[in-house]
Structure 1
């Protein structure tokens, strides 16, 4: 029960303290903190006038995609480069490229809450966790897709396109070739992307398979079945 109360407190503080939108100072500090932690970041679009700042009419994922098609090579942990983006693009959100220094296990929020209860009750170490609105939770882990593993790991199209999330609502393993929206950010729905209190990017990254096991059990409780081999699974 102690673990459940602690988790409820985290989520309650997040809801009570959620701002109407990410303040510039908060965005700058948290984005730089992520870069210092080794998360490669790149500028992203943001919701604008009921659409997307990218200017694409009918953009299917407003505010959920990088600004540049070259985001994989653009993504950087260089503080000077990141500070330049923050200065020249004051409204931009940021994505972090996965599969380089970290992976992300992306699950439905209801399953994520169950997993947090178990992790807390077991006193298990878990790293950065982000809340993606009220619908998803993002568990940041060590990566399984590094250049050394070039022949063993590959990106999965299912997990590389945010617009497929509604069609495939279970676990999405973001590894090489994928990205996630980095907190703090505002979604087109008006909800926020934010770090779980006390679980920001400064924490050590856990092994992905250990977290995956718990997340898989939690997802199974709600009937979410694996849709395909996620990013980072070997042959």
Structure 2
């Protein structure tokens, strides 16, 4: 980006998955609070037992083991105080890091393949970009200014699509995103596809990001429909694992 720090993107830079150590989590949570001025909240954590890891919530079928809110009051406990963050993680050093949306930022949640396509396009167009996370569930979260979640559906409709149809989701007040280096069960760790830097401290408006993101999501959705249509006449056309 002109006049600022650029960070190249792509799958290659996000291949390293850190181990979930309490010190790493605490250090990251404190940096988010003190350097970015983001509210932070500890979530659930992973517990070892019988040779496996399970979520501290106790649900053996937990959809996001070790990476979701630990109680109904999680939003009230979220804080931007470094000392409070240190105190909370001293109680549960391996707790996941949750960042509430609707405060310092909202998040636009898209499939990973569409996210990388949009990132490349936005960099070529020299559009402003904020930090972007990448989850083990193959989703990407683009951080944008608050208010995006309430505008996203309408903006996507103006472009000729429906957000639900193209799998573009806005997260605002009452929601949260899981921050690196939180590990989600045995699937891997949440990572930065685009790290927080001094160059992206000022987040983009949703209007600046929605076009490339919606286009990429629509393209991926169309490709998925084409693959499904081919598979109905030729099952061998399905990728391995999709049958």
Residue matched to 1:149: none
Matched, 1:200 2:196: yes
TM normalised by structure 2 equals 0.73
Question: 8 Å contact 1:131–1:194 — kept in the other structure?
Answer: yes
SS state of the match for residue 177, structure 2? strand
**Secondary structure, counterpart of 1:196 in structure 2:** strand
Q: 1:93 pairs with 92, 96, 102, which one?
A: 96
Greater fraction helix: 2
Instruction: State the Cα distance separating 1:61 from its structure 2 match.
Output: 3.1
Task: State the secondary structure of the residue aligned to 1:28.
Answer: helix
Following superposition, the deviation at residue 67 of structure 1 comes to 1.1
Contact 2:166 2:218 in 1 (8 A): no
Tell me how far apart the structure 1 counterparts of residues 38 and 143 of structure 2 sit (CA, whole Å): 10
Q: Give the SS at the match of 1:223.
A: helix
Whether 1:170 aligns to 2:179 is no
Helix, strand or coil: the match of 1:186? coil
Structure 1, gaps ≥5 residues long: 147-152, 157-166, 225-235
The one-character-per-residue Cα deviations of 1:113-171 (angstroms, maximum 9, x if unpaired) are 1001101111222011111125111111110179xxxxxx59x9xxxxxxxxxx98811
CA contact (8 A) 1:107 1:138 kept: yes
Instruction: After superposition, give the CA deviation of every residue in 1:95-121 in whole Å (9 maximum; x if it has no partner).
Output: 111101110111100000100110111
Secondary structure of the corresponding residue to residue 170 of structure 2 = strand
- Asked if the contact 2:45–2:66 (Cα under 8 Å) also holds between the matched residues in 1, the reply is yes
Instruction: State the SS of the aligned residue for 1:56.
Output: coil
* 1:61 equivalent in structure 2: 64
Of 66-75 and 188-197, deviating more is 188-197
Q: Between Structure 1 and Structure 2, how many residues are aligned?
A: 198
* Structure 1 residues 8-23: aligned runs within 5 Å: 8=10, 11-15=11-15, 17-19=16-18, 21-23=19-21
The alignment partner of 1:133 has SS state of: coil
Q: Is the 8 A contact 1:129 1:196 kept in 2?
A: yes
**In terms of Rg, which structure is larger?**
2
Would you say the 8 A contact 2:44–2:57 is kept in 1?
Answer: yes
**TM-score of the pair, normalised by structure 1:** 0.75
> Counterpart of 1:229?
none
- Alpha-carbon distance, 1:84 to partner: 0.7
What is the alpha-carbon root mean square deviation over aligned residues? Answer: 2.7
What residue ranges of structure 2 are gaps of 5+ in the alignment?
1-6, 154-163, 223-243
Change (3 A) 1:119 1:192: same
